Amino acid sequence: MTSKKTVQNSKRIFITGITGQLGSTLNKYLSRYFNVLNNQENFYNIDVSDRSELKYFFKELSPDYVINCAALTNVDFCEQNKSKSHEVNVDGIKNIISCSKKSTKIIHISTDYVFNGNKKIYLESDTPDPLSYYGKGKLESENILRTSNRDFLILRTSVIFGKTGNNFYVWVRDSLRNNQKISVVTDQISNPTWSWSLSEAIYKSILSNISGLFHYAGEEVISRYDFAIKVAKVHDFNPDRIIPIKTLDLDQKAKRPLHSALDASKIKKLIDIEHPSLDYILKIIS
């Protein structure tokens, strides 16, 4: 009889955006169970906007799953560089669809920024209404995949963070460690998502072979300011260096949804997963 481990290892996974915040964590997590084709030993960091490169590698590697973590997530950059944003966030998923085999399942990471922030918490059934070019591009990428006649899983998530990488937690921690004062908004409210827990959700989704559109995010709905205060306290930094401000004070190029928490109850019931509390996560990664 074939063992469960052997069956899992036979699944061939390709991760786009593998050097990014989520991609690098996924690589570490999934390599324990599956054959990650572009892991540390056989490293390929493919540009999803380069169709010819994608086509070559997909033909050579023939993955069973493509997990698309490649994205331009700097919201203000996307607002000011719409062509580049479209190349990666929209054309990227088009290229993945056209260059991969129809039997390859596509797992696509999306965002809470597809919503306008007028609700306290969002379900999968709520109508998207993005405020920024970034959010519009991510919604377009969702719609392209949903109408592609391919087997897919779209996971919308929120404020991905971890111990390393380019994320809000690391920015707050390192700024305060260097005795810098930082201004943090009190009116942008979401439920931050630990990259390791999101990787676990993706792993369990593969095992359960679920398809469709789902939300997965943290348990705690919190403002960026209160999140920063928690970071300061767990590291015993001076919280007075965190200056509370409003979003309007920042004069950001792109609009943000002020309330964008995601209800993840649908996927949690399907794959039996719970996101750890924010306090617990901060203790173990600090």
CB 255 within 8 A of CB 188: no
Whether pTM exceeds 0.85: yes
Quick one: 181 exposed, middle or buried, by C-beta within 10 A (0-12, 13-18, 19+)? exposed
Q: Would 228 be classed as within a structural domain? A: no
Q: Within a domain: residue 247?
A: no
Flag whether 241 is in a domain. no
Domain interval for residue 38: 4-162+192-218+260-275
Percentage of the chain with pLDDT > 90? 88
Place 10 in a pLDDT band, splitting at 50, 70 and 90.
confident
In a domain, 179, yes or no: no
- Contact between 234 and 283 under an 8 Å Cβ cutoff? The reply is yes
Q: Which tokens belong to 102?
A: 């129809």
Mean pLDDT, the chain, as a whole number?
94
Reading phi first (left if > 0) and then psi (alpha if -120 to 50, else beta), residue 209 is in left
Rounded alpha-carbon distances, angstroms, from residue 125 to 82, 122, 183, 214, 215? 28, 8, 34, 10, 10
Going by pLDDT thresholds of 50, 70 and 90, the confidence category of residue 130 is very high
Which among 180, 173, 199 is positioned nearest to 286, based on CA atoms? 173
* Sign of the CA dihedral with 11 first, then 213, 112, and 169 last: negative
The answer for residues whose C-beta is within 8 angstroms of residue 1's C-beta and 6 or more apart is none
| Residue 204 tokens, joined | 């369990």
**Chain centroid to CA 34:** 20
- The answer to whether residue 252 sits within a structural domain is no
* Residue 201: inside a domain: yes
Each residue's pLDDT tens digit, 198-223: 999 999 999 999 999 999 999 999 99
> How many domains does the chain contain in total?
1
pLDDT of residue 39: 65
Report the CATH number that the domain containing residue 105 is assigned in CATH: 3.40.50.720
* DSSP letter, residue 259: B
pLDDT surpassing 50 at residue 64: yes
For residue 60, the one-letter residue type is: E
CB atoms < 10 A from the CB of 127, how many? Answer: 8
pLDDT above 70 (res 8): no
Q: Look at residue 1 and tell me whether its pLDDT is greater than 80.
A: no
Region 54-79: mean pLDDT is 95
Tokens of 78: 């996307």
Q: Which residues partner with 68 through β-bridges?
A: 16, 108
**pLDDT (tens digit per residue) in 176-191:** 999 999 999 999 999 9
Phi and psi angles of residue 142, each rounded to the nearest 5 degrees, phi first: -60, -50
CA-based R_g, the chain, Å: 19
Residue 198: DSSP 8-state: H
User: CA distances (Å), 112 to each of 106, 117, 124, 169, 209, in order?
Assistant: 19, 9, 10, 18, 23
Residue 84 lies in a domain: yes
Q: Which residues contact 255 (CB under 8 A, 6 or more apart)?
A: 131, 132
Q: What angle do CA 132, 157, 264 make, to 5 degrees?
A: 125
**Quick check: is 26 in a domain?**
yes
